[in-house]
A and B are shown apart, each in its own frame.
Chain A
Amino acid sequence: MDTLKVRDAKDVEEVVRAAIANEQPLEIIGHGSKRAIGHAMATNAVLDVSALNAITAYEPNELIVTLQAGAPLADVLSLIDAKNQQFAFEPMNTAPLLGTPALGTIGGMIAAGLAGPRRIKAGGARDHLLGAQAVSGFGDSFKTGGKVVKNVTGYDLCKLLAGSWGTLSIMTEVTLKVMPKPEAERTLFLRGLDDAAANKAMTAALGSPFDVSGAAHLPTSAFRTKIEGLGDIAGQSEALTVLRLEGITASAAHRAGSLRELLAPFGTATLVEDTVSAALWTTIRDVLPFAADGALGAWPVWRIVCPPASGAALGTLLARETGGELIYDWGGGLIWAALPPKPDAHAAAVRERTNAAGGHATLIRAAEDIRRTVDVFHPQAPGLAALSERVRASFDPKTILNRGRLSRGVAA
């Protein structure tokens, strides 16, 4: 395997142009932390952008940071944390789930677009990418968007780049929106609810004016693995339904009180604060109960996105049919499903039930031989799939970039 470690955007252009001329597809990597997501790529040439790692500009008062795509996410997070700011979409750390060592790069964070619990309030990676410089499959460096939040100048190609898994263009520099970190966080939890009741409680909370910034449900079995930092919250082997409130201290505390009253029909909610609360939400964001080194480490894991109020019905059905374990986030709109090992990872059941609920499912963790026979990304209706392919080809007509990552059977 040939790995080409580019030094600047010019190198990227030259590599892509050479790849076009040689009809040589390229796998694009930063730290390689998410390489195990998607299909095996039809290529033996790797373009490594990790040396494009500069922090170009950080302007806390403008709420923006401009970075090269290979900048290590860990470094960037500590940089903005020092100014009490954050990426409000809570980018997921996939390392524990996938069993990889690295947190990854900024480019990988955007290309994967995996947002955490605050997605329901603050949006996803796509809502925080303000501008990008990227090299298309034509070998041309282009820019889209800008360095300001409010911008409608031209098509918003940033939306396409976020979550494109490196199949449209190679981002070289990006401008992201940052937001102030909340002063305080409070989490209310209810014990012992079944999935359906928990879904109702989360729906009530998210339909309240209390500005809930996290709504998740961990059924009993999610605690089969011991989770560090949660102390006795997780120790009682009972399902937990958790709701987060953030903001200035007085407000978070006040809303927690109001929400507790609203949730009284579902039981008496208990309150945890700052550090304990933060550890709990990291557990949910990174799906730690399904970690690669835990009891369910060998099980395939699906990431199912659906209309939030349908979450419990879909999840319960899937769990019953497959014997799997679930974690609900986004008020029921995101289901992490670890299913017992099976050659097709229960794809037929997952896709059929998910389609019926109006959602879509991604096989986020599975052995490579499973991914050879199962579609990792949700198959789209034919018309939409055809449009998506035309959109892809408008950036990369020769399918040079990450060929085969999104769909099976794309020939080398």
Chain B
Amino acid sequence: MAIMMPASDQAVLARRAEIVAALRAIVPGEGVIDTPAEMRAYESDGLTAYRQPPMVVVLPDTTEQVSLVLKYCAGQGIKVVPRGSGTSLSGGALPLEDGVLLGLGKFKRIREIDFDNRAVVTEPGVTNLAISQAVAHAGFYYAPDPSSQIACSIGGNVAENSGGVHCLKYGMTTNNVLGCEIVLMSGEILRIGGKSAENSGYDLMGVITGSEGLLGVITEITVRILQKPETARALMVGFAQVEAAGECVARIIGAGIIPGGMEMMDKPAIHAAEAFVHAGYPLDVEALLIIELDGPKIEVDELITRVETIANACGSTTCQISTSEAERNLFWAGRKAAFPAVGRISPDYLCMDGTIPRGALPKALARIRELSEKYQLGCANVFHAGDGNLHPLILYDANKPGEIERAEAFGADILRACVEFGGVLTGEHGVGIEKRDLMPEMFSEIDLNQQQRLKCAFDAQGLLNPGKVFPTLHRCAELGRMHVHAGKLAFPDIPRF
């Protein structure tokens, strides 16, 4: 394992049997898992390159039990790692050797569907897709649609602020959650927000969303639901140069059109996807755009024409427009299967997740090509082009000595380039452990200290999911210290009135 996790607390490990017994007293029966064989299922999440069995797994099924578990652990100084469905691509749910893995898998009930307030109150273990399915009969859906939506839990979505192909138009998780019930590390249960559009006071829901399980354990979530658009159609447009595809994306946005989704694939990704799903992708193009317009039919038809005109003006070499749902789904089939498709052409791959300003797309692709040469590893690129979110898939073979290290170095260089081009380290997968040590590329120590001070406001002992997000851990007392200069500073010499 290339990444250092916080040192295990030997005193805690020595008391394992006692801790397991105490947890069994809180969560009886099968809710506590402590045999190595059974715990194997929990030793990694979607970032499978990293594995670590936890000290013990606890699967509570009430908020009260979550509260008691956390209170007990806080009292005993035991670390806790929360976990939803375990689909994180950044290692957010990687267990700790001396930590309790707190699974929310039993929180599987949708508590309330309120069509009048356009809200669903749900437990965190419910899958993203299940929410949409539960309201589909009335024409509603939950907008954020991460690729893993069939498996990922809504609690995990809140923890990671998950996106998806439609977030260009409909926003990420943070733009679609209204409130939650959260249990702090102390065991305190709090309710934040509800069915109102805004909450009172500081926007704590906003900062909890995307906090990667470091601030609290969510036991209930209220999400906003929307009416499904009347119709959706897609264009599949091929370009002989990546630059032309990038220009097309910029011009569509510049024309005031916000598509429901706008995805780009480069040649290696197109070929891998086509070989896998036979979607009819053109194989002689350097870049393929899939652009989906949704809304009333009259609007979609009009916008399809406008986008087609823009694509032609940008020198597209092929342009197909879906005329049926089956055809639209086929256009998407390749893109949606891009990751497994790449998995067929390479024994292993690393999926990166940087975001850049849209305009930097050609520059970023050129850099990735150079790096691919330098590291002698292939790379297939799929992008959420509309919002500049890149998913380069670095191809490697874990069985060849040194390849994983080279792949990781390649990935780190891509993310550094994203920051250099004015972007960020992660657009939707989270920092977790994967990008933790790259945080200083984007943030100064002062920036990171301010974030960690916020963590202290929620978890003063630093017991909840330590080792994730922040490269260096500081004690809260140290972070809170004011560096007051000796003597009294005068107000500086600036204009006064």
A-to-B contact residues, CB < 8 Å? 2-7, 11, 14-15, 17-22, 48, 59-64, 84, 113, 115, 119-120, 123-124, 126-127, 136, 138, 140-144, 146-160, 162-164, 168, 179-181, 183, 203, 206-211, 247-248, 250-251, 254-255, 258, 305-310, 330, 333-334, 358-360, 362, 377-378, 380-381, 383-385, 387-388, 390-395, 397-398, 406
Contacts and interface: CB of A to CB of B under 8 A. Distances in A.
B116 A154 contact: no
Given A3-B496, A4-B496, A144-B447, A380 B207 contact: no
A308 B197 contact: yes
Contacts of B56: none
Given A180-B256, A250-B302, A394-B457, A305 B198 contact: yes
B197 A334 contact: yes
A142 B384 contact: no
Interface in B465-497: 469, 480, 482-485, 487-492, 494-497
Which of B119, B195, B203 has the largest count of A CB atoms less than 10 A from its CB? B203
Contacts of A113: 198
Nearest to A13: B492
A123 B211 CA distance: 20
Interface in B231-245: none
Chain A contact residues: helix, strand, loop or mixed = mixed
Nearest to A182: B256
Chain B, interface size category, equals 35 or more
Contacts of B443: 143, 153-154
Interface in B261-306: 295-296, 298-299, 302-303
B426 A147 contact: no
Interface string B440-479: 0011101111110111111000000000010000000000
B175 interface: yes
Nearest to A179: B258
Nearest to B470: A154
Closest 5 pairs between A and B when the two form their complex, measured CB to CB: A159-B206, A180-B256, A251-B299, A360-B200, A307-B195
Contacts of B298: 250-251, 254
A3 to B, nearest CB: 4
Contact of A162 (B119, B203, B356): B203
A377 B422 contact: no
Given A15-B494, A334-B197, A383-B188, A127 B175 contact: yes
A395 B495 contact: no
A126 B203 contact: yes
Contacts of B442: 146, 153-154
B387 A157 contact: no
B194 interface: yes
Contact of A208 (B227, B254, B303): B227
B200 A160 contact: no
Nearest to B192: A384
